[in-house]
A and B are shown apart, each in its own frame.
Chain A
C-alpha cells in the first residue's frame, strides 16, 4: 500500500510538529507514508473566496503530486473535504477521480482503512474535543446534533481509549468555531466572537487540553487562547495519540 502524507500549506509552515506526529503515528501503526514535495495546498482559500476558477492550476498540481499513491492522508478534515467535494470543476480524468476518492482524513484512514479503533497510550488530562464542521458534517465523522442525539464519533472513541484521558462535556457539542477559512478575515468580528465563545465553552467545562482533527480550527482557537493568555494547551489529536507529553 503506497500512502502519501498530505500536509496542508499552513500546517507545513506553522505546525510542522503536527505533520511529524501524523507521520510517526502512521509509522507506529505500520504504515510508512511518503511526503511528495511537489504538494502545496488544496486550493480551498481561493475557492471559498469565490475564485475557484483561479484555483484550477492548484487543483492540478495537487492531483499531479498525489496521483501515484493508493491513499492520500492528511491531518485536516477541511482540506480533505475540499479535495473530495470541490475538485469536481476540473476534468474528471481517472487520475482526478482516483485522488478525490482516495484522499482521506487521518483518522478516517486509521479507523476505516487500517481498521484500528484503539491506540494504546496514556494522556492524564482533561481533554476537550473540537469537532470540526467539515469533518463532522462534511465527512460524517460524527453524528450532527441536528440529526440525532447520539454524540459519539470516531475520534472521540479513539481518544477516550487512552489511559487517564477524561473528555470534557461541552454545553454546545458541535457549534462551529468561526474559522471558516477566509471568513476569519472577511468577517473578522463575527469570527473572533464565535471563536471566543467556543473557547469559553471549553474553559467553563474544564478543558485543559483542546484538541481536534482539523488543524485549521485549532489554529484559530489557539490564536484566541494565546491572545487571552488562557491556561489551555491546544494540540492536534495526532500529537496526543502519538504520545506527546505536556509539562
Chain B
C-alpha cells in the first residue's frame, strides 16, 4: 500500500483526524513559545548543525575515540552491522546472564531492529517502561511518533486497553487513575527486571559517556535496579565533546515538547560496583546513507519529532501511514535508503511546504532532500508507470509552444462542453473528489493578449 492509500483509511474518521491534527498542532505551538522565548535559538541551531556536520565528516575518528574511552571506563563495546546482528548481540548477552526478564526504556533503534519480537520469540519477557510505549506494546502496535509513541490514541482507547490487559474498570478513562495503574504495574516489572535496555540520545566521544534523556525517569529506574545495562545506539549519535552536549540539551526538548530541558538527562559513563554496562553500536544502513552526499545530512537528526508535529501531512495521516519506524518528513528521507521499492511513495507524501526544514533544530534541509529522493526514485524506475508516462507526455507538450496553446484550447473547450458528471468523475479525476475544476474562460490570456491592438504581435 502507498502512503496515500494508508492515509485514506485514517481520513475516514474525520473527527479523529481533526483531533490528531489539533493535538499535534498544540505541541507545535508549545514549541513556538519556547523557541520565541530563546533569543539565541537560531544561533544554537547553527551550532548544533555545525557540530553534527563536523562529527559526520570524521565519524570514523570519533567512533574509535568513543570506543577507546568507553573501554577504559570498564564498558563493554559491541559493533553490529545490521538489525539481525544487533538482536543477536543483545540476546547473547541476556543468555550469558541467564536473564529472562528485561525492562526497556524507549528506544527508536530497538524498534528499528525489531528487538522486542526477537526477544519474545526466544522466551524473554521484555517490558517497555515508557508509559506511551507500554500502552502500544500492550496493543501490539508500533509507535506512531518518535517522542509521543501513543499520540494516535485517545484516553478512551487507553482506558479500553487497560481494562483489557491491566484489569481496570470498564469505561474508566480518567488519566490520573490510568497512570496510577500503569505505575503500579510497571513497578512490579522494574523490580523483577534482571537486565535494563536503554536507547542513547547522545554519545560523547571525549569521555566515552552515553547520555539518555527521559521525562519519566524510567531509564534511570530500570538501570539502577538491574544488574546489567545494555545501551543500544545508532552510530550517528556521536558528539565530540562533553561541552557540546549543552547545545543539544537546550534545543532537544524545546523543539520536541516546548520544555526548557528534559526532566532526566542521565549520563552513563561506567558501570556501578559489581554491575555491567554494555554499549551496542549499530550501523544498519547508516554508512550507506553517509555515502549518499544528497542525503547525508539526514544523519544529523536528534529525533526531537518537531518535523512531525509541524508537518501538515503527518498531522492528518497519522504516523502509521508511513509504515516505517521513523515516520514523518525525516522518516520519508531515511526509509528509501533502507528499501527504495517499499517506501517509494513516502518522499511524495509532502507538499514540500518547507515547514519541516524551518523547524528542524539541527537544520536538516528536509524538504530539499524529499525533492531529491523523488528524482532518485524517478531515475531508478520506482515511480508508478502511469505517472512516468503522463509526465513524459506533458513535457513533450510543454516544450513546444504551438502544441501547448492548441492543446490548452481543446482542453478548455472540452471542459466547457462536456457534462459536469463526466469532467468531475470521482473515479478517474482525483481533483474532483473534493474540488470543482476551475471554470474554463472563453479566452486564454495569450489569446486575449494577441487581440489587444497595442501589443506587438511579432
A: which residues have CB within 8 A of B?
7, 9-17, 19-20, 34-35, 37-41, 43, 45-55, 57-58, 60-61, 65, 86, 133-134, 137-138, 144-149, 172, 175-176, 178-197, 219-220, 222-224, 226-227
B351 / chain A contacts, CB cutoff of 8 Å: 133, 176, 178-181, 183, 191, 194
Contact B348 A53 (CB under 8 A): no
Known contacts A50-B374, A133-B353, A137-B357, then 18 further A-B pairs from the complex at CB < 8 Å, ordered by chain A residue: A16-B447, A35-B446, A41-B398, A49-B348, A49-B374, A54-B392, A57-B396, A146-B355, A149-B32, A178-B312, A180-B352, A180-B353, A186-B387, A189-B7, A190-B317, A223-B435, A223-B437, A224-B434
Q: Is B274 an interface residue (CB 8 A)?
A: no
Contact A146 B349 (CB under 8 A): no
A147 / chain B contacts, CB cutoff of 8 Å: 42, 358
Mark interface residues in B223-241 (1 if CB within 8 Å of A CB, else 0): 0000000000000000000
Q: Is B165 an interface residue (CB 8 A)?
A: no
* Residue tally, chain B, CB below 8 Å to A: 72
Most buried by A among B412, B441, B443: B441
Q: In the complex, which residues 129-187 of chain B have their Cβ closer than 8 Å to any Cβ of chain A?
A: none
Q: Determine the distance from Cα of A10 to Cα of B437 in the docked complex, in whole angstroms.
A: 12
Contact A190 B316 (CB under 8 A): yes
The residue that B446 contacts in the complex, of A12, A52, A175, A227, with Cβ under 8 A, is A12
The residue that A176 contacts in the complex, of B355, B395, B433, B445, with Cβ under 8 A, is B355
Contact B449 A193 (CB under 8 A): no
B450 / chain A contacts, CB cutoff of 8 Å: 37
The residue that A61 contacts in the complex, of B348, B399, B448, with Cβ under 8 A, is B399
Contact A49 B32 (CB under 8 A): no
B427 / chain A contacts, CB cutoff of 8 Å: none
Q: Determine the distance from Cα of A51 to Cα of B376 in the docked complex, in whole angstroms.
A: 9
B399 / chain A contacts, CB cutoff of 8 Å: 40, 57-58, 60-61
Most buried by A among B35, B347, B349, B394: B394
Most buried by B among A11, A48, A193: A193
Task: Name A196's closest neighbour in chain B (CB-CB).
Answer: B434
Q: Is B379 an interface residue (CB 8 A)?
A: yes
Task: Name B25's closest neighbour in chain A (CB-CB).
Answer: A172
Which 4 residue pairs spanning A and B have beta carbons closest together?
A223-B435, A180-B351, A50-B378, A192-B434
Q: How far is the CB of A228 from chain B (nearest CB, A)?
A: 9
Can you sample 15 A-B contacts with CB below 8 Å? A12-B445, A14-B439, A45-B391, A45-B394, A49-B348, A50-B377, A52-B378, A58-B398, A145-B32, A146-B355, A187-B7, A188-B431, A194-B316, A194-B351, A196-B434
B355 / chain A contacts, CB cutoff of 8 Å: 133, 137, 144, 146, 176
Contact A223 B395 (CB under 8 A): no
Label chain A's interface by main secondary structure.
helix
Q: Is B79 an interface residue (CB 8 A)?
A: no
Q: In the complex, which residues 402-458 of chain B have their Cβ closer than 8 Å to any Cβ of chain A?
A: 404, 408, 411-412, 430-431, 433-441, 443-450, 455-456
Q: How far is the CB of B310 from chain A (nearest CB, A)?
A: 7
Q: In the complex, which residues 339-373 of chain B have their Cβ closer than 8 Å to any Cβ of chain A?
A: 347-355, 357-359, 371
Q: Determine the distance from Cα of A37 to Cα of B401 in the docked complex, in whole angstroms.
A: 8
Contact A189 B11 (CB under 8 A): yes
Task: Name A194's closest neighbour in chain B (CB-CB).
Answer: B312
B383 / chain A contacts, CB cutoff of 8 Å: 49-51
Knowing A49-B374, A195-B434 are in contact, say whether A148-B446 is a contact too (CB < 8 A): no
Contact A193 B431 (CB under 8 A): no
The residue that A193 contacts in the complex, of B17, B443, B447, with Cβ under 8 A, is B17
Q: How far is the CB of A132 from chain B (nearest CB, A)?
A: 9
Q: Determine the distance from Cα of A16 to Cα of B408 in the docked complex, in whole angstroms.
A: 13
Q: How far is the CB of A25 from chain B (nearest CB, A)?
A: 14
Contact A35 B394 (CB under 8 A): no
The residue that A35 contacts in the complex, of B35, B36, B436, B449, with Cβ under 8 A, is B449
Task: Name B377's closest neighbour in chain A (CB-CB).
Answer: A50
Q: Determine the distance from Cα of A172 to Cα of B32 in the docked complex, in whole angstroms.
A: 12
Task: Name A13's closest neighbour in chain B (CB-CB).
Answer: B408
A224 / chain B contacts, CB cutoff of 8 Å: 434-435
Q: Determine the distance from Cα of A172 to Cα of B310 in the docked complex, in whole angstroms.
A: 11
The residue that B378 contacts in the complex, of A16, A53, A181, A219, with Cβ under 8 A, is A53
Mark interface residues in B1-43 (1 if CB within 8 Å of A CB, else 0): 0011001100100000100010001000000100110000010
Knowing A51-B388, A137-B358, A197-B21 are in contact, say whether A37-B446 is a contact too (CB < 8 A): yes
B388 / chain A contacts, CB cutoff of 8 Å: 51
A12 / chain B contacts, CB cutoff of 8 Å: 408, 444-446
Q: How far is the CB of A225 from chain B (nearest CB, A)?
A: 8
Q: Is B64 an interface residue (CB 8 A)?
A: no
Q: How far is the CB of B426 from chain A (nearest CB, A)?
A: 10
Q: How far is the CB of B143 from chain A (nearest CB, A)?
A: 21
